[in-house]
Each structure stands twice: as structure tokens, then as C-alpha cells.
Amino acid sequence: MSVIALYTMNQLICVCNISDSITPIHCSSNKFFNWDLYLDRIYKRPGAGTVNKNHIFKSVQTKPGILITETIKDVDVKEQNLIKLSKNATGGQKSGRARIINGKKLKNKKRPELRDIKQVDLYEKWGPLVPAQFRDEICPKPSNKIIKSVKEERKAKRNTKQY
């Protein structure tokens, strides 16, 4: 098996920098925010069945909060108001929405982690295929506690299959 196209993140950035048409940006995990949580406080989700995979989506600055969908350019154009405020919203409700928008206190998204079983598989199955100088970065060894729990889990699963 060839491992020619295996890169660490830093190597990938360097390789992408070679091209004039690519500008890679290394972004740390603390730059990912929970936009769903923020936007759900301001906007409604599109109505069920109103969005299809072949739709063209757009929004325009002159119609804030309006989602425009069309199947073909300028054909079957539909608009949905996604703003959560009702037409009879009070001044307090409007100012509350404005505070949310202007405050923009976004929560960081929790960094996704590999499940224990995947950590062990990555280390045990794929680690030997990775060049030694990059192995710790790409396929780090999980803690002995994790390795032990995965082995016990697999053993228990094997034992239940025998019956």
C-alpha cells in the first residue's frame, strides 16, 4: 500500500500554497462557532417541504430575513420570511432581537473528537502505515485506559455472538 498522499495539516497547507489559485488558511478549532444556536434565536427554519435539493437559494440586502428559492433562474420564485418576529411584535421584542444581533456573543462549537474505538483503530491499524516521523501527529496513541476499555468491549461483543 502506498502512503504518498498522506499529509499532516502543515504539509497540506504547504502543498496548497504552491498553487496560485489556492489560498489555504490554517484555522484553529477556537474559530468555529455554534452559528445554529445563534441564528435559531433570530430566524425560523425554512418550512418543511419548501426546500429541495435542486433549488437555487439567495437572499438580498434589500429584503433582510427573506429566503428566496427558485428551481431555475427566475422561474418558480418563492419567498419565505424567516424572521422570528411576528407582524405585531412589540418594541421590547424588537429591541431584544436587536440586542441578540448586536451582541453577537457566539459560543464556540465543541471540537468533535474521535470515538474511543476509532482512536484505537487509527493507532493500531493505520499507525504502522504512516511514516515514523509523522505517526505521533497523525495516529497518536490513545491512553492505556481507552485501549483497555475498547479491548474489553470487543471481547464482550465476541462472547455474546457465540451464544
What is the per-residue pLDDT across 128-155, written as a single tens digit (0 to 9) for each? 988 888 889 888 999 999 999 999 999 9
Instruction: Look at residue 30 in the predicted model and tell me its pLDDT.
Output: 76
Ranges of each domain in the chain? 33-103, 110-162
Between CA 78 and CA 86 the distance in angstroms is 20
Most confident of 36-50, 74-88, 94-108, 124-138: 124-138
Half-sphere exposure of 39 (CA within 13 A, CB side): 9
- Whole-prediction pTM: 0.49
